[in-house]
Chain A
């Protein structure tokens, strides 16, 4: 057998062994985070611990995540500007798809709104709702329904930065009334979190959709036919 393969296998085996050891011999946790979250939950403005952590206790992490997502979309824009828009690369002229979308699209918007609202008390929140909005947009695109040249307007950019802007404004507002950055006053936490989540949902949804929309045009137009023949 190839000595390289043997060497790689031995090292993989050792890594698996180490991982197994790490799982079985865990040190006792010094701080029990779930307890601390539960103790502070009543001051956070929401009753679902995950949302409380994401948008209140550790909201700086979420803020930076949104920044990263925005950065990814900016890079996609920068790469995309160099190529001309295709005529239309994925308009599937399928009556069934159109009929299904007519039913599904309003339902998806409704579920996105519900997920956003539910985030305060149970699993849900801005990311999931935004992903659902993006999926609805992708479905529309697959059916050939295209928001004209919206992607290159000022409005599109405004929607993209809306979430981050609202988040920053709320954080700085908290500073203005005497707290630290992103430290909401407990009485205002609930509306603040909901407002931030609403803005985040719109921005995340549009950002994820933009990543799909900004994909480079297909050099050959009869791609669909070949993909089907391959399957």
Chain B
């Protein structure tokens, strides 16, 4: 299963870099959720299913929902500054 582990490690790193470097906040949040789900798979491969469950439920699920909610709030508040956000 070495190829699966290598694939997971590489994808995890790529997702992390993309999430951090993404200029669009919405895309960054979605990538963060993807990162959390991949991380849960990594925990399973590391034989830590307890942490995998918690990561999938809290790290990817609830944190993702909270971040999306925050994003909606920010968009509502900064109606005019939408283009600036896309650039920054």
Contact = CB atoms under 8 A, between A and B. Distances in A.
Interface of A: 50, 115, 123-125, 127-128, 131-132, 134-135, 138, 208, 211-212, 215-216, 218-220, 223-224, 226-227, 230-231
Chain B: number of interface residues, binned into ranges: 20 to 34
Nearest to A204: B58
Given A218-B72, A227-B26, A135 B54 contact: no
Interface of B: 24, 26, 49-50, 52-54, 57-58, 61-62, 65-66, 69-73, 75-77, 79
State the main secondary structure of chain B at its contact with A: helix
A227 B72 contact: yes
Contacts of B26: 227, 230-231
A50 B50 contact: yes
A224 B66 CA distance: 15
Given A123-B50, A123-B53, A226 B75 contact: yes
Contact of B75 (A124, A215, A223): A223
B57 A132 contact: yes
Contacts of A231: 26
Contact of A135 (B62, B72, B77): B62
B27 to A, nearest CB: 9
A123 B79 CA distance: 46
B58 A131 contact: yes
Q: Which 8 A-B pairs have the closest CB atoms?
A: A131-B57, A220-B76, A123-B49, A218-B76, A128-B53, A219-B76, A123-B50, A50-B50
B54 A131 contact: yes
Contacts of A215: 66, 69-70, 73
A135 B57 CA distance: 8
A64 to B, nearest CB: 17
Contacts of B24: 230
Contacts of A134: 62
A141 B7 CA distance: 37
22 contacts: A115-B53, A123-B52, A123-B53, A124-B53, A125-B50, A127-B54, A128-B57, A131-B57, A208-B58, A208-B62, A211-B62, A212-B69, A215-B70, A218-B72, A218-B76, A219-B76, A220-B79, A223-B76, A226-B75, A227-B71, A227-B72, A227-B75
